Chains A and B, each alone.
Chain A
């Protein structure tokens, strides 16, 4: 019966090629625009570390005065001051904790005629590597003993290793960063989570991979300043030490809390810490703290660009209009065939058969629309560079799941659009049509 109805459907579609084409085009354009913008939305709202996102948290402590906090809707600063970061680090209340900040450091050329390189670099603690599940191609992260020893060790990423050592195992070899020699202890296997959850504040959520990590303790010893945001509510005094011990916030702080109980305990600890600072007279305001996990943090920082949300919204609205349009066209098409329906009904076809036939016919239109829509989505992926910034545009990909989704949406949407027209067609009174 299905193939019979499909044959009938296809014949009817051929009989009215302009109307059919119009419907296929409408559906394909609607589906393609929503799928293209959905691909961008999916990429930007992606969970960068799915298995651990609920265990990694950003603590925030209000260390600036009320006027500044009020300007920020009562939210504490995004980053932490050196004083607070070190206090939390020494308290070791989380399972694991780490702090990091971006630095500007140059890589000496490997030969005398070459030019130096500048790569995205961070100063951080040994815990970063296990906390963020950073994959290693060679070697591993440094140890907490290296943190304490303020050791001249470095972890590099795969791209830099390819550039400097032609992809060979470089563990144990030296590189020169800002005129100082560092020993490579590990080569990361291209680690580059998107969105860049670990430092949304400084480099933006979408960008190139960090290539160099050195110990935080060593960077501070060498007076390497942050190359990222440095927010000072009170202008600090002159010199490194005055800045380091000021209330300027510039450190991204992360903790790993494996379960709900430990998260609650940590929140209590943060509150107690801020209360203690208030008692000591450092904070002249009651405790104001936050503890957000990865996805809450990305949401709070509005990582998904407004452009992505608005274009998805408009595209879905557009698809809706295309469907309303399709309902109208199908209605016209089906009802025009009232005499034919009358004949079939008079010859004994039950209502359901008519209903089924028209839904199958619509499904065929939807499938054709989906295929054409797929081609357009593919083309749309190339044009994304016109609309979004390159680092966002290149994240969107047409993969198997998007292909399947495109076809499903097209067929389902068209069949849904056909429900009412098909029902109207099935209601045709045979007697009426045969009379004249």
Chain B
């Protein structure tokens, strides 16, 4: 007897149409769902692992809001804040920014080489900050130089003054000057600025505040501190000092001036908390999809065990006859394994069709991308192994049916 007994298996399955269809259906639906779930999981993990371009350890953020302060007093208030923060024991450096990677809130402008064209080359994130930004964030300057202290000015948020120097990300530099010659060249920020800004430095990477934005790799550092009421202090602590700084820094600021608010939920956060909150729903989706995949596989396995056990019980007599006619225990075992393999393969082919339709629907509805083949293959192999694993117990039980069953009067 050959190990693959496809013909007898098929003719036996014809007598168990309902059960066969049920397993095929279940395998198909399971495949459709786990393919797409795995795909969603990987997309989310991919999104979460995008680098910010910063050294994220030992970094503290404080969202500061000046309560009732006059705009013209804000520059001096800010200066004394920054001085106090930089002098705080355990602080390596500190800076002020309106927004930072993963902070959510963003200001963008179009970047142009010719100020008179309507069409911009790209949108880019504007980071208004000072000469301490690169060191505080831990960004990597790969060409040119940092801002000098004398290049930093204060800017009222409603003012629109062109800034002579800018530092841009490598991605933006390559986008605007594809030949790689951006350093020292002019770019226009916004669409009615009278004079260009010169690229004085290029940093390897700095993500925009919203990681899902299309321009997320394009950022411009501008040498100006905004004198708005709202701002974020970024503080880099010396190694091991972060938790001390988390307590001391807000206290020092309050001592300098009490008329300020650190908002309740986003006020004082270490960068790991910022990251966790920014990707909350992505991680949530990944957890949910993993849980659903796991429970789904268990359910499907349980279903296969249940139905196959029933078939084994129903066919004890036939199995006995086959054993009496010379079939070995192995033959019986292989019979059930083959049967399961055929059913699961049927389910997989239907499931692939379902998975692709579901994916297409999600592409239309949720701007998802095409499902890649590897998820289909991984899911199919998982289901084959699962099916064979689930059928093993009942099949072993079947193989141990003694030949004497052939002549025993059974109640199924």
Contact = CB atoms under 8 A, between A and B. Distances in A.
Interface of A: 19, 22, 26, 29-30, 33, 65, 67, 104, 106, 108, 115-118, 178-179, 225, 227, 234-240, 243, 305-307, 309-311, 314-315, 317-318, 320-322, 324-325, 327-329, 331-333, 335-336, 338-339, 386-390, 420, 424, 436
A243 B26 contact: no
A65 B314 CA distance: 75
B412 A65 contact: no
Interface in B71-92: none
Interface string B272-304: 000000001100110111001001100110110
Interface string B294-324: 0110011011001101100110000000000
A67 to B, nearest CB: 5
B118 A321 contact: no
Interface string B223-257: 00000011000000000000000000000001000
B109 A331 contact: no
19 contacts: A29-B295, A104-B65, A108-B67, A115-B258, A116-B261, A118-B65, A118-B67, A225-B158, A238-B159, A238-B161, A309-B365, A321-B30, A324-B25, A324-B29, A325-B303, A331-B310, A335-B310, A339-B412, A386-B287
B158 A239 contact: yes
Given A26-B302, A235-B192, A317 B33 contact: yes
Interface stretch (B15-23, B137-145, B179-187): B15-23
Interface in B133-181: 157-161
Nearest to B230: A104
A318 B29 CA distance: 8
A306 B366 contact: yes
Q: Which of A26, A307, A332 has most chain B Cβ within 10 Å? A: A332
Contact of B68 (A179, A225, A328): A179
Given A26-B299, A235-B193, A389-B280, A318 B362 contact: no
B302 A240 contact: no
A335 B259 CA distance: 78
A23 to B, nearest CB: 9
Q: What are the 4 tightest A-B residue pairs by CB atom distance, in nearest-first order?
A: A106-B67, A332-B310, A387-B284, A116-B67
Contacts of A118: 65, 67, 261, 263
A115 B23 contact: no
Contacts of B158: 225, 238-240, 243
Given A307-B285, A324-B22, A335-B412, 19 more contacts: A33-B295, A104-B229, A104-B230, A106-B68, A118-B65, A178-B67, A225-B158, A238-B159, A240-B158, A306-B366, A314-B292, A318-B296, A324-B25, A332-B310, A335-B310, A335-B314, A336-B313, A386-B287, A436-B409
B37 interface: yes
Contacts of A225: 157-158
Given A104-B229, A339-B412, A387 B68 contact: no
B359 to A, nearest CB: 12
A387 B30 contact: no
A338 B412 contact: yes
A387 B287 contact: yes
A385 B295 CA distance: 20
Nearest to A337: B412
B239 to A, nearest CB: 31
B32 interface: yes
B229 A327 contact: no
B119 interface: yes
B188 to A, nearest CB: 10
B224 to A, nearest CB: 13
B33 A314 contact: yes
Interface of A is mostly: helix
Contacts of A338: 412
A307 B229 CA distance: 34
B299 A322 contact: yes
A324 B281 CA distance: 31
A115 B229 CA distance: 16
Nearest to A421: B18
Contacts of A339: 411-412
B281 A307 contact: yes
B73 to A, nearest CB: 12
Contacts of B348: none
A315 B23 CA distance: 19
Given A26-B299, A314-B289, A317-B29, A236 B313 contact: no
Interface in B98-140: 109, 118-119
Given A234-B191, A235-B190, A318 B159 contact: no
Q: Which of B157, B254, B284, B313 has most chain A Cβ within 10 Å? A: B284
Given A234-B192, A235-B192, A332 B285 contact: no
A179 B313 CA distance: 85
Nearest to B277: A389
B260 interface: yes
A329 B303 contact: yes
Contact of A317 (B32, B157, B307): B32
B380 interface: no
Contacts of A436: 409-410
Contacts of B206: none
Contacts of A235: 109, 160, 190-193
Given A29-B299, A236-B160, A324 B26 contact: yes
Contacts of A420: 18
Contacts of B203: none
A179 B303 CA distance: 70
A106 B261 contact: yes
Interface string B34-62: 00110010000000000000000000000
A388 B362 CA distance: 20
Contacts of A26: 299, 302-303
Nearest to B33: A317
B285 A328 contact: no
B121 to A, nearest CB: 13
B357 to A, nearest CB: 12
Given A104-B230, A234-B191, A240-B158, A314 B37 contact: yes
B365 to A, nearest CB: 7
Nearest to B229: A104
Nearest to B354: A317
B409 A329 contact: no
A237 B160 contact: yes
Given A29-B295, A106-B68, A118-B67, A332 B160 contact: no
Nearest to A311: B288
A386 to B, nearest CB: 6
Nearest to A243: B158
B26 A321 contact: yes
A315 B292 contact: yes
A238 B158 CA distance: 6
A328 B26 contact: yes
A424 B65 CA distance: 72
A285 to B, nearest CB: 13
